[in-house]
Chain A
Amino acid sequence: PDMIQKCWWLAFLMHVFIIGFQALDCDFLNVNLNRVIRKNMKLLRNVSHSFPIECLREIKDFELPQEILSHSQMEKRDIKEAWYEISTQAFCIFMGHAFQTTWEETHLTQIQNGLYEQVAYLEQCLMEDIHETKEEEMKYSGTGRFLLNNLELRKYFYRMNNFLEDKKYSYCAREIVRVEITRCFSYFYRFTAFLRRR
């Protein structure tokens, strides 16, 4: 029994060690990231309570690249990179001058701050990954590294940017883009939650 007790003790210490290790990993920051994303989705929805009827006619399909999630075996890092792409692009759109005049200033700064927080978290996590994988860096250093998935996401935001420009940042165009970005966030949020459960 003494021997068994010793083994239990070791297993217990291992457990403690693993918990401690995870805590320092970027995974732990995910808890926080999820919270920030949820908060931002809420903020985006709350800008206006209903979608203006007069804008219905202008609604455009931006072709959210859903297939990049369904077909590929996404790894943790890919998901983080996809989130990073989405977050920075959304952040850039809401930093546009046209949005300054539309929304109540406090609301806009809340969204901008929230998105910045989201971007900063992801940036930190991804940079940590980069430091961990120095060898990989060598491999990509010549051409740069950019996932094709993110290229699809970028095209999606490119279509949104073009739409805004074509419509000269009209009220309806901004509303449509806001709803689209909220939709994109919630789609990816649900998908990431699904992946985590799997």
Chain B
Amino acid sequence: MNALALPAPLPAALAAWARGGPGQPYVLLADRPDGTVVRCGDAVAKAHAPGSDPEALAARIRVAGSGALAGVLLPPLRTGAVHGRPVSLWPYGTPVDPARPEDAPWEEAARLLAALHRTGPRDLPGPVPPMRGPAKVARALRRLARAPQPDPDGVRAVRAAAATLPDWARGEGVPPAGGAVLCHGDLHLGQLVRHPAPDGPWRLIDVDDLGLGAPAWDLARPAAWYAAGILAPEAWLRFLDAYRAAGGPAAGPPGSDPWPELDLAARALTVQTAALALAKAAPARRPLDEGERLMLDSCVRMATFRAELEP
């Protein structure tokens, strides 16, 4: 028996690529269809989704490494390919402790987003692809459509809530022209790290969905959590006020009602979250957890108000 040794599993192969040799110790941080992430000491290697557009991904990683985003996005160390997948290497940063979401750096997250959104298009290193937020809504709805026997009442509510959105917000068709700025595209508390670890300044990570688009998308997850009753008003206002104070363009001037600006994107993220929750709960034959149930409740209320919500 020679030559035909089985290839190393992806996490081990990633670690070998990160460390420049096989048999390296690593910690598996994530292993999902859309990305596998391992930590090797002071670096983190990611294998991006198999279907990633390689040019768009390269452009996104270039943005993360550009001087214009220094202090906002964690810059990459290098890129490559492992098992035919595009891979990238990043410095390790300390994340928000998932057991202590109350420690979330809402003000810092808001200031980083405002800086991202205020980046001038001419400061970007070449053409930047669209932000993938709407594409992710579409993907969540497709995943729900394929899920085995999801809760039929839940599916009805999610579909009715999705019908309140314009086509472009569901990834069909082109967003309205104008107002597109550099956006993260997938903000949540797992997208913030302190670098250098453990107590350096906060940075945004994970540029797979980054691109030009509607900046309200980056505020929409916290907005949707707040609207559903998941995020306390105090935390929401810390985030919103810090974003406005930092000159962020997505939520109207300080003191004004932000919802005319945020409503559509917050509905889109609510639909996305509820669709994914139902799609994940169905094969596991489990009920929704409390947070998932509250997001679905928001969809039910959107369906009730659908005649009045701006399509």
Tell me whether A and B are bound partners. no
Interface residues of A (CB under 8 A from B): none
Interface residues of B (CB under 8 A from A): none
